[in-house]
Amino acid sequence: MKKSYEIEVDCAACAGKMEAAARKTEGVRDCIVDFMMQRMIVEFQDGADRAAVMENVRHNCRKAERDCEVFI
Amino acid sequence: MNRKQRIMLMRIIASALMMIGLHFIPAQGVLGFVLYMIPYLTVGYDILLKAVRGIIRGQVLDECFLMAAATAGAIALAIYEGSGDYTEAIAVMLFYQIGELFQSYAVGRSRRSITALMDIRPDYANVEDGGKLEKVDPDDVAIGSVIIVQPGEKVPIDGIVVSGSSSLDTSALTGESLPRDIHEGEEIISGSINMTSVLKVKTTKEFGESTVSRILDLVENASSRKSKSEDFISKFARIYTPAVCLGALLLALLPPSLNLISGNAAGWEAWIYRALTFLVISCPCALVISIPLSFFAGLGGASSAGVLVKGSNYLETLSKTKIVVFDKTGTLTEGTFEVSGIHHGTMPDDELLEYAALAESASSHPIAKSLQKAYGKPIDRSRVSSIEEISGSGITACVDGHPVACGNDRLMRQLGLGSIPCHSTGTVIHIAVDGAYAGHIVISDSIKPHSAEAVRELRAAGIERTVMLTGDTEKVAAEVARKLGIDEVHSELLPEDKVEKAEELIRTKPPKAKLAFVGDGINDAPVLGRADIGIAMGAMGSDAAIEAADVVLMDDDPLKIAKAIRISRKCLGIVYQNIVFAIGIKALCLILGAMGIADMWLAIFADVGVMVVAVLNAIRALFVKNL
């Protein structure tokens, strides 16, 4: 199950950090942060609670890069 | 500029003005320190805060920490040395922030202009409701509804024109600037702009299934399919910063220690200063931003030329293409058969054609269609009777009471008639009327006007080998290949043979040369998928093509193949320039910094300068008009 979310992030290196942080989040199989389109495409693991996972993704992204936003 | 950027600009200006002012105030000692800290904190407080936060979280190697360490270190060194010269540290912070601001502004600008280029999304559809036009969300329009498209509006949903005729601007879809005329009963494709008069359109698809949605989906996902160069850079960035920091640490500790051991003066100040210079160059920003930006601009430029590339990775593969394999019908030729000659007729040509068209009137075969088209008059079916199809041979029928036979030479033999073979290439239809041979009609598929030029341009673009695959007869295939200058022909292939042939070509090619397959996307889907890169032509309205191909040429023009390759080469050229340039300058600065030749001023100028040049260079990938 793949879903795309809008994000707001200022620098390309920070986008890379968000990607790494999101990938490590439980329930996320894979994640691609598209800096140019300001989007995050998250592939969830089967049976994952998407809303809960995304809260964690946002939290982890913020931890890695404070100046970022994920629009869930 | 957004609010964040405006605030940053104000901070930069304020800080720069203060620095100029301080230049004229001969403040020394503690007062001097306090005064200089004002512009420093004005421009860099957020960096310092982030650095502190990073330390608390144990993320020592982010660029904020590095900038903070470099500038704070330089200030500490100035205090220790008692020089009171804080200008350098503050300038480093100032220029770093200017660089960041420029980057965020430039990226924002190009993001907007590139997405505007691809902006074919219709905002609404007009539905007539009791004589009044009502604007509704295109998503809410059911199949079979009638929508009104006024001049100047985008066609929101695919459909058929039920009334009105107009000119369409399809440039956003195809890159073709010539307007296309559309009349009642014709198919209309969403995403084009109605130019001259009101059209009533009966929708044939839902919005989500319409051409415009499919294209948007494709274009918007393109930059998330990352290329090898992008992966390389993100991996490089991950090791670059720690490596430079380690270098800085070694530079600060090792040479002074060696000096101490060998009994010389340690020279801590000089070596720590050089280490701080290292930290200034340690941010990989120029690289990290310019590579995705180059690809994004390249994808945007390509789509403005009517070439949709499904991802940065495909743009990269396309640039390495050395072998181009074509499907013949529909790609190099029009794919519509036309009567190209009538020979050896025992009666006037149009009379022969009339007999043939009438005899074939019940058939839906492309050949029958082309006969009817060449005949050009409405067909009166009542004149034809006792139509009999002889499988693999042709048709016999009774036209106006005359027995007529139309088909290949086998049919003529079956009827005990001799036939005159034809010297021109194409499908030959022999005709017998009243039991006597009456001549033959040659039907051939005409070559597209730009095909020969397209093959020449491909060769000029560095394609080493061109191959044509076709199900057609050897004679026809060889003739087309000769006319177009194609190197290699494989003819009389069934669809599954084509896949096999394509696989064989992939197996036997040199591993670095990429193979592109160009097809019309209707019956080539398996081969499109199997090639290193599948290019579908004339995708307007063909869903299969958009699904299966990696690159979609929006119009039928084979010239666009060479253009697509040139666009990809330009884009990848820029990517490599940026990689080499940015890494090269950084390496140079590191060497000069370690030797004590480059000071912090040079380091920050080089760092910001590289980024500005790389970003501007990246935007160049957008300009593809004259390629």
Number of domains composing chain A = 1
Residues of A in contact with B289 (CB under 8 A): 11-13
pLDDT in tens, B31-79: 888 888 999 999 989 888 888 887 887 776 777 888 888 898 888 888 8
Residue B539 binned pLDDT confidence (cut-offs 50, 70, 90): low
The reported pLDDT for the residue numbered B315 is 93
Nearest 5°: phi and psi at B400?
A: 50, 35
Residue count of chain A, please give it: 72
Q: Does residue A47 sit at the B interface (CB-CB below 8 Å)?
A: no
pLDDT at B17: 92
Per-residue pLDDT at B455: 93
CA distance B601 to B142: 64
Which chain A residues in 6-25 lie under 8 Å from chain B, judged by CB atoms? 10-13, 16-17
B389 and B424 Cβ atoms separated by less than 8 Å: no
Report how far residue B210's alpha carbon sits from residue B188's, in angstroms, rounded to the nearest whole number: 11
Q: Which residues contact B486 (CB under 8 A, 6 or more apart)?
A: B326, B455, B466, B467, B468, B480
One-letter amino acid for residue B465 of the chain: R
The pLDDT-based confidence of B540 (bands split at 50, 70, 90) is low
Task: Give every CB contact of residue A32 below 8 A, 6+ residues apart in sequence.
Answer: A19, A40, A41, B224, B226
Minimum Cα–Cα distance from A32: chain B residue: B224
Q: What is the mean pLDDT of residues B397-418?
A: 86
What percent of chain B stands above pLDDT 70?
97
Nearest chain B Cα distance for residue A72, angstroms: 19
Of B115, B224, B296, the CB nearest to A32: B224
User: Chain B within 8 Å of A38 (Cβ-Cβ)?
Assistant: yes
Element housing B341 (H / E): strand B333-343
Instruction: Identify the band that residue B23 occupies on the pLDDT scale cut at 50, 70 and 90.
Output: confident
Pairing of strands B465-469, B488-490: parallel
Q: Is B169 an active-site residue?
A: no
What's the one-letter identity of residue A32? Answer: I
The separation between CA B156 and the C-alpha centre of its own chain, rounded to angstroms, equals 23
Contacts of A68 in chain B (CB under 8 A): none
Helix count and strand count (H, E) for chain A: 2, 4
Lowest mean pLDDT among B148-157, B173-182, B447-456, B534-543: B534-543
Closest-CA residue to B327 (of B613, B54, B538): B538
Residues of B with CB under 8 A from a CB of A: 4, 50, 53, 57, 59, 62-63, 100, 103-104, 107, 111, 114-115, 220-221, 223-224, 226, 234, 237-238, 283-285, 288-289, 292-293, 295-296
For B280-290, the pLDDT digits (tens) are 887 777 778 88
3-state secondary structure B538-556: CCCCCHHHHHHCCEEECCC
- Contact (CB<8Å) A11/B226: no
**pLDDT, averaged across chain A:** 87
Domain extent for A53: 2-71
Cβ-Cβ contacts under 8 Å, B57 against chain A: 63
- Is the model's pTM score more than 0.95? no
User: Please, what's the largest Cα pairwise distance for chain B?
Assistant: 121
Q: Report the SS3 class of residue B224.
A: coil
Helix B600-619, helix B268-281: angle, nearest 10:
10
**Buried-exposed string A30-67: b where 16+ CB fall within 10 A, e elsewhere:** ebbbbbbbbbbbbebeeebeeeebbebbbebbeebbee
Closest CB to A34: pick one of B59, B224, B283.
Answer: B224
Contact B407, B394 (CB under 8 A): yes
Q: How far is A49 from chain B (nearest CA, A)?
A: 24
Task: Report the Cα B367 to chain-centroid distance in Å.
Answer: 37
Tokens representing B277 are 């210079």
In chain A, whose CA is at the least distance from the CA of B290?
A12
**CATH number, domain at A66?**
3.30.70.100
Judge whether residue B191 has pLDDT over 60: yes
- pLDDT confidence of B565, banded at 50, 70, 90? very high
In this prediction, residues B297-313 reach a mean pLDDT of 89
Interface test with B, best of A36, A59, A66, A69 (most B CBs within 10 A): A36
Instruction: Give the pLDDT of residue B60.
Output: 67
CA dihedral (B304, B308, B313, B314) in degrees, to 10, reads -120
Preferred mutation among B288, B291, B619 to probe A, highest tally of A CBs within 10 A? B288
Q: Could B224 and A37 be called an inter-chain contact, meaning their C-beta atoms sit closer than 8 Å? A: yes
- The residue length of chain B stands at 627
Is B479's pLDDT higher than 90? no
Q: How far apart are CA B14 and CA B1, in angstroms?
A: 18
State how far the Cα of B373 lies from the Cα of B252, in Å rounded to an integer.
Answer: 85
Which of the residues A7, A37, A68 would you substitute to probe the B interface, choosing the one with the greatest number of B C-beta atoms within 10 Å? A37
A and B: number of Cβ contacts within 8 A:
54
Which of the given ranges, B275-284, B552-561, B570-579, has the highest pLDDT on average? B570-579
pLDDT 10s digits, B326-347:
888 778 888 777 888 888 888 8
Nearest Cα neighbor of B326 from B481, B476, B546, B456 is B481
Is the Cβ of A30 closer than 8 Å to some Cβ of chain B? no
B62 — phi, psi (to 5°)?
A: -90, 160
Contact A64/B at CB under 8 A: yes
Residue B563's pLDDT is 93
Give the nearest chain A residue to B236 (CA atoms).
A13
B344 phi/psi in degrees, rounded to 5:
55, 30
Region B124-150: what's the mean pLDDT?
86
Of A10, A36, A66, the CB nearest to B104: A10
- Show the tokens assigned to B356: 């043939």
Contact status, residue B531 vs residue B516, Cβ threshold 8 Å: yes
Instruction: Tell me what the mean pLDDT of segment B379-388 comes to.
Output: 85
Of B103, B111, B295, the CB nearest to A11: B103
Q: Which H/E stretch holds residue A40?
A: strand A39-44
Q: Which residue has tokens 């007539």?
A: B128
SS3 label, residue B83: coil
A27–chain B Cβ distance below 8 A for any pair: no
What's the CA gap between B106 and B612, in Å, rounded? 9
ipTM for this model: 0.84
* Count of other CB atoms within 10 angstroms of residue B609: 15
Q: Provide the pairing of β-strand B146-149 with B199-203.
A: antiparallel
